[in-house]
Structure 1
């Protein structure tokens, strides 16, 4: 009686490929690999890394340093989106945090704030630890405010965070007396421009935040509670999970991450601008999180995948700048990137892709 002999090795390979495609890290890593391959072909020297004054420099180092604030915001946004919400105010929170630090650095307040002789002094009457604490406290309070509106007042997340998105930049300008404040306090520059063991300080700031957040959600029950709230908030409530406190925690943590990003950005550019600090970061953060596989409806999430998504965005941005693409055309390029991400994560596209790979696997099995 004839029988069909199937190659067990080929079957295992097909199953392994399917599991890889279903991993949350697969698509962001694949997108990053495609962009890096493009850079290797069309941008000679993109991967060149040199040493100057004991510090590493190069495009890849710039991607890590410039992408650090977005990675921080993406970590916080991941937790918010995992609960089924969204935070549109992260850019404004960055501006508020930067403005708070700039005001405290200046050795004078009020009308004297705008005089050049005060702005150009490399001195401050406020201790640096207090400046950092005020930065983080301002952003965390903003996140707490969003969390209270969403969890206690039961306002839709998009509407609740839109309030601070609109008002936040006005608050930042009120803090700075409507001025673009240039910062001349050298110790403050270390966070955005300093180096440790040849690598940017910003990397050493992102790493512990990621590790602590990962430990909190994967080694405790918090991660399970967040995913349960995102999948079905009402069912989680009847299961004994405090849905309101989980959402409050998520938005407060997102505010903290945004404040830390504001500290890095203002330190890097040596200024606080209520109109431009953190501009469009809410859109980039949402894109990074969605690229990392976290559904906007909530549920399962991955901090690592979101961080890779942030690196994809910054690698794409730096590649376009290196090629000489103007800033206004870059927005169109990002729109294409958004479209590709939406297609990759659509259920219909994935079904088509799975069928295509399954057919190839079947033909390979038949041949062997």
Structure 2
């Protein structure tokens, strides 16, 4: 294959443009902040702008991870923000009622209770979609609205503040110099990659999203897989809720996880997963989450006015999505597909020619 052909194949890869935008954002930050890439160790912990990006992107990356598999089956989950709020609210409510908030057993009980409830909420979404037959956007919209109210009931409309060192480790702690929240994301991503790319699970999920009728006729239990991916999305959102509430040692039922579902969907799209279902990219969704959080930091670094922040962010996202579109690139670069070249017919023989 020629160099030009190799370059064309590279440009068609779904991860090229997200990675290119991420690199461009980092370079832009370097222009305004020369020490942007500097990482140092303080008190046995890694510090630096890149570490801050990884920490801030951890909850979004988890939610995007679950959203990726849901979208791959042709669904959508608008309730993940509410599950984030409920998870953090339940954990902080339980810890606040402990006699000793630093009790490791009590904190583990709070974490187990929060994650167990998140799994049940995800299962509820999956059953509404797979068993009852409600459209995913409607089924999850129910929990999106009701779940936010449940979180406010748990917190009694107030911000629950806790002072628990073991609980603080989840969102603000470090292990072997790395942020614990980032390590949690790494373990979840690695486990998901193994299950979806080293087993038949990923192919089954893509088949359900790509052609549900054909997959059912082939013997794939589409309902069970649909419930499974929504349960997984609930687990990821529950973990994100623990990280968010642990990082600030408090639970806010009104604002925690607010609109994170939209950023998660955007991260999934940036990562190259098709909204119509079928093909998906776990790594792409994580890169998409990093792009969104790096963009947030870039907006403040370059001094974009607050009243135009959302517009600036929207413009960047639109440019990225257009760059990912093969049809748009072909139109802009003038590289339309051409049919096979048909040779011109041979001219008729002259009457004066004498056949040999």
TM-score (structure 2 length as normaliser):
0.90
Corresponding residue for 1:366? none
Corresponding residue for 2:13? 23
Cα shift at 1:265: 0.6
1:234 matches 2:213:
yes
User: Is residue 107–residue 124 contact of structure 1 (8 Å, CA) maintained in 2?
Assistant: no
Post-superposition Cα deviations, 1:177-233, rounded to whole Å, max 9, x if no partner, equal: 221111211211011111122211111111111111111111111111111111111
User: Using the alignment, how far apart are the partners of 1:138 and 1:333 within structure 2?
Assistant: 38
User: Is residue 104–residue 126 contact of structure 1 (8 Å, CA) maintained in 2?
Assistant: no
Q: Mark the runs of 5 or more structure 2 residues left unpaired by the alignment.
A: 339-356
User: Is residue 104–residue 166 contact of structure 2 (8 Å, CA) maintained in 1?
Assistant: no
Taking structure 1 as reference, are residues 37 and 53 closer, same or farther at Cα in structure 2, changes over 3 Å only?
same
Cα shift at 1:355: 4.7
1:184 to 163, 171, 192: 163
User: Using the alignment, how far apart are the partners of 1:125 and 1:41 within structure 2?
Assistant: 45
Q: Secondary structure at the match of 1:75?
A: helix
Corresponding residue for 2:74? 84
Taking structure 1 as reference, are residues 101 and 171 closer, same or farther at Cα in structure 2, changes over 3 Å only?
same
1:39 to 29, 45, 53: 29
Corresponding residue for 2:299? 320
Post-superposition Cα deviations, 1:93-137, rounded to whole Å, max 9, x if no partner, equal: 1000000101110126xxxxxxxxx9xx85569622111111211
Corresponding residue for 2:289? 310
User: Using the alignment, how far apart are the partners of 1:220 and 1:328 within structure 2?
Assistant: 48
User: Using the alignment, how far apart are the partners of 1:334 and 1:242 within structure 2?
Assistant: 40
Taking structure 1 as reference, are residues 328 and 216 closer, same or farther at Cα in structure 2, changes over 3 Å only?
farther
Corresponding residue for 1:333? 312
Corresponding residue for 1:101? 91
Q: Mark the runs of 5 or more structure 1 residues left unpaired by the alignment.
A: 1-10, 109-117, 360-368
User: Using the alignment, how far apart are the partners of 2:332 and 2:108 within structure 1?
Assistant: 52
User: Using the alignment, how far apart are the partners of 2:104 and 2:181 within structure 1?
Assistant: 25
Corresponding residue for 2:172? 193
Post-superposition Cα deviations, 1:157-179, rounded to whole Å, max 9, x if no partner, equal: 11111111111110001111221
Cα shift at 1:278: 0.7
Post-superposition Cα deviations, 1:4-24, rounded to whole Å, max 9, x if no partner, equal: xxxxxxx52122112211212
Cα shift at 1:356: 4.8
Cα shift at 1:334: 2.2
TM-score (structure 1 length as normaliser):
0.87
User: Using the alignment, how far apart are the partners of 2:20 and 2:313 within structure 1?
Assistant: 17
Q: Which range moved further: 87-96 or 325-334?
A: 325-334
User: Is residue 95–residue 277 contact of structure 1 (8 Å, CA) maintained in 2?
Assistant: yes
Q: Secondary structure at the match of 2:157?
A: coil
User: Using the alignment, how far apart are the partners of 1:262 and 1:80 within structure 2?
Assistant: 19
Taking structure 1 as reference, are residues 201 and 328 closer, same or farther at Cα in structure 2, changes over 3 Å only?
farther
User: Using the alignment, how far apart are the partners of 2:306 and 2:173 within structure 1?
Assistant: 27
User: Using the alignment, how far apart are the partners of 1:131 and 1:265 within structure 2?
Assistant: 15
Corresponding residue for 2:128? 149
Cα shift at 1:358: 9.7
Taking structure 1 as reference, are residues 271 and 324 closer, same or farther at Cα in structure 2, changes over 3 Å only?
farther
1:296 to 275, 281, 284: 275
Taking structure 1 as reference, are residues 182 and 329 closer, same or farther at Cα in structure 2, changes over 3 Å only?
farther
Superposition pairs for residues 1-368 of structure 1, below 5 Å?
A: 12-107=2-97, 122-123=101-102, 127-325=106-304, 328-352=307-331, 355-356=334-335
> Which entry has the higher C-alpha Rg, 1 or 2?
2
Q: Secondary structure at the match of 1:152?
A: helix
The alignment's C-alpha RMSD in Å is 2.1
Taking structure 1 as reference, are residues 323 and 354 closer, same or farther at Cα in structure 2, changes over 3 Å only?
closer
